[in-house]
Structure 1
Amino acid sequence: MKNNLLKNFKIYVAGHNGMVGRSVIRYLKNEGVRNIIFANRKKLNLLNTRDLEKFIKSKKPQIVINCAGKVGGILANASYPVEFLNENIQIQLNLINLSYKYKIKHFVNLGSSCIYPKNSKQPIKEKYLLSNELEKTNEAYALAKIVGLKVCEFYNQQYKTNFFTLMPCNLYGPYDNFHLKNSHFIPALIKKFIEAKRKKKKSVEIWGSGLPRREVMYVDDLARAIGYLLKLKINNNKKFLKTLKENSLINVGSGQEFQIKKFAEIINKLTSSNKKLIFNKKFPDGTKRKILDISILKKIGWKSKINLYDGLKNTISWYKKNY
């Protein structure tokens, strides 16, 4: 498969300012793509159907990658469920409907593993979606993202399109959200250890027992997966097209899981903090285990390349330079 297969395509990246969007743009530039389209929120409001239609009609992208959406922590999700539901549904519907209307053959949608059932069997297979109740703390967001992936699925059924949704595990990397109350555990731990070292604290508090197991993946691996699958699709790869007919939802993960305690120990070492770890069991652990089943992706021939140590080193280095 040619490495520069995407080079001559005009590609629109929606949500280019987020961690995933920025990573996708870095990947596309490395692939030699010269015509990458994006617009910030001031120039283009994705909630405004008319403005987005004008943008797509004039720019004429051949590929649309949807990295856009309203995201936030538990507190934000609990406080503004109406906004999380409405805005995410509207953004996805606008992008998907207009991609179909303007005959854009290649549409990539992004979901999130947090939309799987709260107490799903492990590892989580794609078919477990909607098999049980959702996590209440982010139910509105989860329902909105489910609507998006289902709309892609229904277009494929009714109009023979080949739109697809990727479901990544927890991601981390440059431009992550490092706000302690709203961030995921990896950026929170990085911030805690670096701040503890700066303030010469002897210990770092970690919420929960440290025993739950989690799967994480460096964001650039997701960008690589998007590129890899787009190339297969452009090449009309029979195996991939058959996969899409059977299931337009594909898990993307590293295939590795570690205890929260292990992540903390690695970050402690990589930041040269040498702090004592204190586990505050007053905070809930959440699910004991959360890992995606990535057998569909493996069969297609893709696997994660960036190991945990390298990914964390890059993220810590970026954090130090930018915060």
Structure 2
Amino acid sequence: MLRTMKTGRIAGRDVARVGFGAMQLGELPGRPAVDRATAIDVVRTAVELGVNHIDTAAFYGPGTANEVLREALSPYGDDLLLVTKVGAVYQGEGRVLAQRPEQLRAQVEDNLRGLGVDQVGVVNIRSVQHGLRGGFAVPADQIADLDDQLAELIALRDEGKIGAIGLSSVDSGQLRRALPAGIVCVQNFYNLLHRADHPVLELCRENGIAWVPFFPLGSATSEHRNVLAEPTVLDVAARLRGTPAQVGLAWLLAHDPSTLLIPGTASVGHLRENVAAAFVELDDSAMAVLDGLVPDARSDERK
């Protein structure tokens, strides 16, 4: 199905516009670990469907997601783009910040070992200055200068350990500041019902940077509205004979051509549903109704 899907660009490469996020393949707080055989089946099915952009992290774990990817797919095909992120580590039963430049380097090395590769295609710096506005305090020893973080990743890129640099959870000012480093993608919280970062999306479009929204359907741990429970989304899905998830994902794809999706799941059924969203056509009426769910999003950037 996905082999004829439209592609987007990231790090100078063409990738299917629907990729796969591996977070749910690792241990998550309050959730049982995914059966390893099931996780491997999901990953292999994704690639069979044409997915060639997979997002992961060593702190999806501890390292579990990377282990699954290595067991399922190594040796990796030349057309597969592996993307990871740094800025946190798995400790105890959850994640803790690890933002200092030397910590970022150590995390890149962890990802290389876990994935079994000599180079990771893209590495995103997971910023804590912008974040999800959770109100948490950043420990003093984890307040790192973005320029210093970028310098470390540029050094790793020069060494050939990473192919390109991306950012995650940044505002427009941070992105502008980072542009000289050659940013290839931005991962921010963005979906049909949460568009506060639209100015960042516009800046990505202006600079040819891939926009890779996380929580594209909302999050069970987020205080924000759930796309899957929105009555308007349910109505559009019923009219188009699709699912609410497909409507939410299809809106993101139609909303801006720079968008690449990485929806995650530990279910083959949900995986097939997600990738099929690439072929859901939202007519003008549906787009107008869905666009209107969040008025004036273009001027509502978080400060």
Normalising by structure 2, we get a TM-score of: 0.34
Name the structure with the higher helix share: 1
Structure showing greater Rg:
1
Normalising by structure 1, we get a TM-score of: 0.32
